[in-house]
Amino acid sequence: MPSRLVWKAQELLRSTQRLAQLSFEWVLPGHGDRIRLLSTDMQKELKQLLESRQPV
């Protein structure tokens, strides 16, 4: 039986932190819509996402 990948909140946070340090314009998810932003805007959006997910 193939193993199933189960996301954990801390792993998602670390992954998003790493992505925020990279320069890219496209997000091509396995599901949902693809997203294209200028690389500076992508980094800004990821940083805002990270800030919104910080514990209070």
Range of the domain at 32: 23-56
Structural domains counted in the chain: 1
- Confidence (pLDDT) at 3: 57
Specify if 40 maps to a domain: yes
Per the document, the length of the chain is 56
pLDDT (average), residues 18-39 = 95
Where are any strands of DSSP class E within 1-56? 26-27, 35-36
pTM (2 d.p.): 0.75
User: How far, rounded to the nearest angstrom, does the alpha carbon of residue 51 sit from its chain's CA centroid?
Assistant: 12
Specify if 42 maps to a domain: yes
